Amino acid sequence: MTAMSGGMPGGVSRRRVLAGLGALAGLGALAACSNDAPPGTPPSSAPPAPTTTTTAAPPTYAGEAALVALGAAVSGLAGDLLGQAAAGAGQGRYGAVPGTVAAFLSGAAAQHVAHADAWNRLLTAGGLPAVDGAPLSVEPALRGRLDAARAPIDLLGLAADVTATVAATVTAIVGEVTDASAVTLAAGVGPVAAMHGATADFLLGRPPSAPADPTAGALGTDALTV
């Protein structure tokens, strides 16, 4: 038997085999490197983080600011309710509403809206947000009464009660605030609200009377829902 050179078949030397294996290893490493991002390539962008929206917390009023906010809220509620009553009367929603009643409702509504604006100006002058709407715990029940109204007498009864609440509340505020502007405003709003109540009572045929306690039925700052 013929002896094989270097112990490998076909005369291939061990050195050449090892050199071939080294070349294959080098090609494998080169292929692995080709899968990596070349230097300077920016990394793939990650999906954007989900955006979240935050709702601003409602304002919180404290101290005398809460009393001013209460004045704004109760005047605003009266203005809105009486304004809706006047609008509904003009649309025939409550039957035949006498012109005197309709004029009273619309005139009183405008004055209460003006009072609410005046209260809110005091708040914004002090760097606080104005009261939005009528955030009061009594609002749903009073709106329910307006929704249930079917005749002019229902509107006048609601007007008498709402304006009595405004008058009592604002009268109570006069004795609790110390800011001169708030005192002046409350002292002017109270008598106007009382006049509205007396007018509603007169149109209802009720005998004139003065409350023994002008603050009876007043709302406190705990009635605020902000």
* Tally of helices (H runs) and strands (E runs) in the chain: 6, 0
Reduced to 3 states, what is the DSSP secondary structure of residue 71? Answer: helix
Q: pLDDT at residue 36 above 90?
A: no
Nearest C-alpha neighbor of 191 from the set 113, 123, 115, 136: 115
16 assigned to some structural domain? no
75 assigned to some structural domain? yes
Nearest C-alpha neighbor of 184 from the set 196, 166, 170: 170
For the chain, the domain total comes to 1
27 assigned to some structural domain? no
* Per-residue model confidence (pLDDT) at position 49: 60
- Helix intervals (H) in 64-150: 64-90, 99-125, 139-148
* Per-residue model confidence (pLDDT) at position 101: 98
51 assigned to some structural domain? no
**CATH number of domain containing 204:** 1.20.1260.10
145 assigned to some structural domain? yes
* Per-residue model confidence (pLDDT) at position 26: 42
Q: Phi/psi at 5 (nearest 5 deg)?
A: -70, 130
pTM above 0.85, yes or no: no
93 assigned to some structural domain? yes
Confidence at 52, pLDDT banded by 50, 70, 90: low
Q: To 10 degrees, the CA torsion angle through 174, 176, 182, 187?
A: 0
Task: Look at the alpha carbons of 206, 82, 120, 63 in this order and tell me if their dihedral is positive or negative.
Answer: positive
181 assigned to some structural domain? yes
Show the domain range for 132.
64-223
80 assigned to some structural domain? yes
| 136 beta partners | 224
Contacts for 65 with CB less than 8 Å, ≥ 6 apart: 123, 126, 128
CA distance 189 to 117: 12
pLDDT in tens, 98-154: 999 999 999 999 999 999 999 999 999 999 999 999 999 999 999 999 999 999 999
